Structure formats: structure tokens, C-alpha cells
């Protein structure tokens, strides 16, 4: 049965006007780190950082130190850091049990440099069934938006980096709307607590409050009181959603179906939810040019090199490649005539985390949404839809795409991708076993 959703057309969405001078596209993680630290140092009214996590590593320490310095210089500065409740209270996948980043937050607040409030947001009673995946840093009237979290690899603090997308938008109305949602929907919730304070309730104690919060989030929207519509110039619409058939999902599908000439999609994990895959198939049938840029399996953040100790989580990049090969085989004719283009990103052991959609020269969707089943049904996600009816973003768009393509290779036919038989023994045996009992389908939905 086809997914039914209302279609207030994209042209009818309320939006905040922009000037081309107020939008800047950054093209690398190192620039992202420098820009974030510079904006923190320059802030005078407010700093709201929202990410999946702020990591206890060199880059995380650098960000925390910058926040503490900013607070000391301007005591009235309103600083709030929001991270996922569950992710903050565990170690890395495969590591021994530990206090996680929350232990470091508490140590920072107890130190001489003063407390920076770090709030844990639980959007579900278990991390497996939903996390805070909102993105966007608000610094005074500027929004720095990226799908990145805050750690060494996302901020390119040392040798390795994880490539994402990074955009600066100076727009007071947008900044106000994003802060208002954080304050009214999250910070005011009885389910949200500071992780930097010594006494913190357990998840079990918060179960009822978490259920109430999730129900409220399903109905929340960004405040568009000061937005305008119709508006026929460069503008931005913030979108938010959680759970199945939410407004963000519906507008994302509407965005794909609106294409007249070309669609470009970036995703780190080739595992589209059924409604997205259905729209992509329709685009190809309609003769629309479709380009999909995805990370090579070795550029996946779950990839484990064959010479290292194998863990089951390391099979995920191979599962995604199985999906990609199957898709390429189904659409081999479109690949041959270059209506469909597939690009694999790979850069010397660095990883790929790009998400987003470009439609014609009219729309640019920047988001932390992985465009996978988990994002479409479990996590709290958001996005910024940039309306560009006059093509004012064309130069920035091309610069960003050129930077991405610098490390990609085209896939011209499905046979260029490895088969399960060619995978390392441990991977091949695990995937064969999972496929027999169809557990792989469950994994696709939750990872």
C-alpha cells in the first residue's frame, strides 16, 4: 500500500528569507572545527550546541575549553549543550563498561574552569529504539549546521577525518526558531536532565517522562510565526520529525517527487527506507537523472580492516554493499545509459558521513538524516530545506560537489562491486548465517 501524505506543495512551506551573503558552504572538517571554535569565541548572547555526542577526546576537550573560556569572558552568555542521553552514558561499541562521556562532563563541571551545562535528551527508553539525532549549532544569530558530532575524527583533530557537510547561515529568525524549540520542547521536559551534575536519575526512573516526551515530540514543529510564504527568493525552512509518517519524512518524499531534471543524493549507508526507494525507482522510470554518492565499504565508520580483530558490527558495511550491488543490478540499464550514476567515496582510510539531497537547481536539503529505516521511524531528526528558485547557490553547490567528487569513483555496472563470496571468511560466514534466518532484515531497520 502506498504511503499517503498531505501535499502542501514545497512552494507553500513557510520560510525565512536569506541573502546569498548570509550563506556559506564549508568543504572540509578542519574548516568546520576552526569555524566552530571561532564562533564560540565571538559569541556574546547564546551558544546552543546540539549533537549526538560531545566526546571525551582531544577535540571534545578543545570545544569544552572554548566554551569555558567564552563563559569566563562573558558570564551572562547563555550556554547549553544537548546530547543523546543514552549515548553519553556508555563507552564506544565493543569497549568495556564505563561511565562514558557523562563522567567527563561531571569532572569538567567540578573543575576550576566552571560548569558548562550538558543536557541528556532521551527520546526513547533504549538507545536501540531511538536517539537524539537533531543537528545544528546556534551561536548568537548564526546557525552552523552539519551532520557531524563532536570528536577527533569529525573535527579532523589529528590525522584522520570523517567527511560531512557544513553550512553557515546567518539568519536571526532561523536561530530564534531553533533555540525556541530546544527550550520549549526539550529543556523544559521533565525527561531531560543535566549530565554534568553528580546526581542523575536512572533511565528506569524516567520511563514515564520519556514516553510523554516522545509523544510531545511527535507533534512539535519549529515556530514559523516570523516566517513568510509565498516568497520567491533564497530562503530556508527548518523541518523536524520523529516516528513513522512524520512531517520531515513527508516533505523529504515530496522533495524527491518534485524533481523535473536531476536529483543528487548523499548517504553514508546504502539502506534506503521503502518509501524513499520507491520514489527513487519512480524518478528513474520518469527519466529523471539520478546520482547517488555513497561511501565505499572501507570508508564506513563501522568498517574493521581484515588484519584487526573482527566484531559482528564490522559486517554492516558489507551488508550495505550487498544492498548497493542488488540496486545496481536491478537498474543496470539506467546505469549503462548514464541516467543513473553511482559514485563510491574513498580517501585513504578516512570515513564518509555525508547526507543530503539536491533537486534540480531549486532545492538543497541539508540534514543529519541518514535516509535509512532507522532515521525514518526511530530517531529524532531535523533538516534545513533551502529554497533557491533563482539558482543563487549554484556556485557553492558546485564547489561542494567538486570537493566530494574528488575522492569518488563511478560504478558503471554491478559486477564492479564484490560479492559475498569475495568477502573475508568471518564476514562471509556471518552474512550467510544472518541471511538464512533473515536477521539481516532486522539489522537494516535498526542500524
Residue 117 resides in a domain: yes
335 and 425 co-located in one domain: yes
What is the CATH number for 140? 3.30.870.10
Per the structure, how many domains does the chain have?
2
Is the pLDDT at 96 greater than 50, yes or no?
A: no
258 and 205 co-located in one domain: no
37 and 150 co-located in one domain: yes
Give the whole-angstrom CA distance, residue 281 versus residue 383: 23
Percentage with pLDDT > 70 across the chain: 93
180 and 295 co-located in one domain: no
361 and 241 co-located in one domain: yes
Mean pLDDT of the chain: 93
Give the whole-angstrom CA distance, residue 166 versus residue 370: 15
Q: What is the pLDDT of residues 202-240, one digit of tens each?
A: 999 999 999 999 999 999 999 999 999 889 999 999 999
210 and 302 co-located in one domain: no
pLDDT (0 to 100) of residue 1: 35
Domain range for 198 is: 17-219
Question: What's CA 207's distance to the chain center, in Å?
Answer: 26
396 and 427 co-located in one domain: yes
Q: What are the grid coordinates assigned to 275, written together?
A: 518509501
Residue 371 resides in a domain: yes
| Bridging pattern class, strands 235-241 and 16-17 | antiparallel
> 393 with 139: CB under 8 angstroms?
no
pLDDT (0 to 100) of residue 230: 87
> 93 with 411: CB under 8 angstroms?
no
Q: What is the pLDDT of residues 22-41, one digit of tens each?
A: 999 999 999 999 999 999 99
213 and 290 co-located in one domain: no
CA distances from 67 to 25, 48, 135, 184, 319 (A): 24, 11, 18, 23, 40
The DSSP letter of residue 421 is G
Q: What are the grid coordinates assigned to 174, written together?
A: 532561523
Percentage with pLDDT > 90 across the chain: 85
Is the pLDDT at 198 greater than 70, yes or no?
A: yes
Query: Which sequence positions are flagged as catalytic?
Result: 133, 164, 353, 381
349 and 208 co-located in one domain: no
39 and 186 co-located in one domain: yes
Given pLDDT bands bounded at 50, 70 and 90, which one contains residue 445? Answer: low
| Bridging pattern class, strands 136-139 and 142-146 | antiparallel
Amino acid at each position: 500500500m502506498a504511503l499517503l501524505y498531505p501535499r502542501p506543495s514545497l512552494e507553500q512551506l513557510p520560510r525565512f528569507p536569506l541573502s546569498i551573503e548570509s550563506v556559506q558552504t564549508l568543504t572540509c572538517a578542519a574548516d568546520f572545527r576552526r569555524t566552530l571554535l571561532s564562533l564560540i569565541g565571538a559569541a556574546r548572547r547564546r551558544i546552543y550546541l546540539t549533537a549526538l555526542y560531545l566526546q571525551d577526546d582531544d577535540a571534545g576537550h578543545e570545544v569544552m575549553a572554548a566554551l569555558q573560556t567564552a563563559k569566563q569572558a562573558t558570564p551572562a552568555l547563555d550556554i547549553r549543550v544537548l546530547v543523546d542521553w543514552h549515548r553519553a552514558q556508555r563507552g564506544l561499541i565493543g569497549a568495556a563498561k564505563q561511565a562514558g562521556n557523562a563522567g567527563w562532563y561531571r569532572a569538567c563541571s567540578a573543575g576550576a574552569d566552571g560548569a558548562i551545562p550538558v543536557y541528556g535528551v532521551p527520546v526513547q527508553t533504549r538507545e536501540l529504539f531511538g536517539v537524539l539525532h537533531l543537528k545544528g549549532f546556534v551561536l548568537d544569530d548564526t546557525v552552523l549546521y552539519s551532520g557531524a558530532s563532536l570528536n577527533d575524527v569529525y573535527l579532523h583533530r589529528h590525522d584522520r577525518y570523517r567527511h560531512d557537510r557544513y553550512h553557515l547561515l546567518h539568519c536571526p529568525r532561523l536561530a530564534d526558531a531553533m533555540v525556541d524549540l530546544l527550550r520549549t520542547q526539550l529543556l523544559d521536559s521533565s525527561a531531560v536532565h543535566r549530565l554534568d551534575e553528580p546526581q542523575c536519575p536512572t533511565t528506569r526512573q524516567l520511563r514515564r517522562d520519556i514516553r510523554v516526551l516522545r509523544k510531545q515530540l511527535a507533534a512539535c514543529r519549529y515556530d514559523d510565526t516570523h516566517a513568510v510564504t509565498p516568497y520567491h527568493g533564497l530562503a530556508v525552512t527548518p523541518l523536524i520529525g520523529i516516528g513513522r509518517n512524520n512531517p520531515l519524512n513527508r516533505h523529504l518524499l515530496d522533495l524527491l517527487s518534485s524533481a523535473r531534471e536531476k536529483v543528487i543524493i548523499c548517504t553514508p549507508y546504502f539502506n534506503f527506507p521503502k518509501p524513499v526507494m520507491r520514489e527513487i525507482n519512480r524518478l528513474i522510470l520518469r527519466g529523471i537523472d539520478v546520482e547517488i554518492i555513497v561511501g565505499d565499504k572501507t570508508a564506513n565508520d563501522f568498517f574493521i580492516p581484515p588484519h584487526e580483530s573482527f566484531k559482528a558490527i564490522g559486517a554492516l558495511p558489507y551488508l550495505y554493499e550487498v544492498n548497493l550491488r542488488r540496486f545496481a543490478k536491478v537498474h543496470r540499464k539506467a546505469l549503462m545509459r548514464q541516467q543513473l550514476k553511482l559514485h563510491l567515496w574513498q580517501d585513504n582510510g578516512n570515513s564518509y558521513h555525508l547526507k543530503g539531497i539536491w533537486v534540480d537547481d531549486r532545492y538543497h536539503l541539508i540534514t543529519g538524516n541518514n535516509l535509512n529505516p532507522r532515521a525514518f521511524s526511530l530517531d529524532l531528526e531535523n533538516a534545513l530545506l533551502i529554497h533557491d528558485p533563482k539558482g543563487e547557490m549554484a556556485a557553492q553547490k558546485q564547489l561542494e560537489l567538486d570537493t566530494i567528487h574528488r575522492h569518488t569513483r563511478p560504478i558503471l555496472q554491478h559486477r564492479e562491486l564484490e560479492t559475498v563470496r569475495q568477502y573475508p571468511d568471518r564476514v562471509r560466514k556471518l552474512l550467510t548465517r544472518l541471511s538464512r534466518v533473515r536477521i539481516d532484515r532486522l539489522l537494516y531497520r535498526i542500524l
